[in-house]
């Protein structure tokens, strides 16, 4: 494969290694190809760089099929780049339009402050209970265990669990009322 503009002895060929061919292609055609692709992409430099890179990858993959006697490979590279841009535009057209976060900023959301405050108050009220009452409520209410399961986990009789749950709920109610929560 010949790279135009170079002396015949310095021209790399596919036999000499595809990496050398693509390196020579990149050095010779990067700037004019980038200028061409920038026009195709409406001045989007990042997109243009991506297109040029994809074009060079395709040239590397097909290095053995490139015309060695061509005066310039720029027309082939430009055609490949143009097709990449067209394919990308078609992909964009097939997908819904992407939007930024702007519209989401104005979407009304439920105010969860009240729920958070209730949780904080309940945690504080639970802290005011005795450790035995806290443990029995944790097992029965928070972990959703039956009285029998809670008795087994806590290692106390079922009747004691029932009694502690009753008095713990009464104490919790008082602690919540002290914090301004009515039940």
DSSP secondary structure string for all residues of 51-114: HHHHHHHHHHHTGGGS-TT-S-SHHHHHHHHHHHHHHHHHHHHHSPPP--SHHHHTS-----HH
The widest CA-to-CA distance across the chain, in whole angstroms, is 100
DSSP 14: G
Domain residue ranges of the chain, discontinuous segments joined by +: 14-94, 113-178
Round to whole Å and give the CA distance between 147 and 157.
10
Could you count the other beta carbons within 10 Å of the beta carbon of residue 182?
A: 6
Answer for the pair 74, 29: CB distance below 8 angstroms, yes or no: yes
Q: For residue 13, which of 60, 68, 70 has the smallest C-alpha distance?
A: 68
Round to whole Å and give the CA distance between 66 and 2.
9
Q: What pLDDT, on a 0 to 100 scale, did the predictor assign at position 5?
A: 42
| Domain 14-94 shares a fold with domain 113-178 | no
Q: What is the CATH number of domain 14-94?
A: 1.10.1740.10
DSSP 128: T
Round to whole Å and give the CA distance between 101 and 80.
35
Residues in the chain: 183
113-178 fold: Arc Repressor Mutant, subunit A (1.10.10)
Residue 167 CA: distances (Å) to CA of 13, 141, 149, 155: 90, 14, 19, 19
Torsion of CA 134, 137, 138, 139, to 10 degrees: 130
Sequential pLDDT tens for the chain (183 residues)? 444 444 333 334 444 456 777 778 788 888 999 999 999 998 899 999 999 999 888 888 877 777 767 777 888 889 999 999 999 988 877 777 666 666 666 777 777 888 888 888 989 999 999 999 999 999 999 899 999 999 999 999 999 999 999 999 999 999 999 888 886
Phi, psi angles (nearest 5°) of residue 44 = -75, 100
Q: What pLDDT, on a 0 to 100 scale, did the predictor assign at position 168?
A: 95
């Amino acid at each position: 494969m010949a790279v135009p503009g170079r002396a015949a002895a310095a021209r790399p060929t596919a036999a000499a290694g595809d990496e050398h061919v693509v390196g020579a292609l990149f050095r010779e055609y990067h700037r004019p190809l980038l200028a061409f692709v920038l026009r195709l992409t409406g001045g989007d430099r990042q997109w243009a760089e991506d297109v040029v890179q994809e074009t060079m990858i395709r040239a590397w993959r097909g290095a053995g099929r490139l015309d060695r006697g061509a005066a310039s490979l720029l027309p082939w590279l430009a055609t490949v780049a143009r097709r990449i841009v067209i394919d990308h535009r078609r992909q964009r057209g097939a997908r819904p339009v992407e939007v930024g976060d702007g519209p989401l900023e104005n979407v009304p959301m439920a105010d969860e402050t009240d729920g958070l405050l209730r949780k904080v108050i309940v945690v504080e009220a639970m802290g005011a209970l005795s450790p035995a009452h806290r443990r029995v409520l944790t097992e029965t209410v928070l972990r959703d265990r039956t009285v029998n399961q809670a008795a087994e986990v806590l290692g106390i009789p079922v009747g004691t669990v029932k009694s502690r749950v009753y008095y713990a709920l009464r104490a919790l109610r008082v602690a919540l009322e002290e914090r301004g929560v009515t039940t």
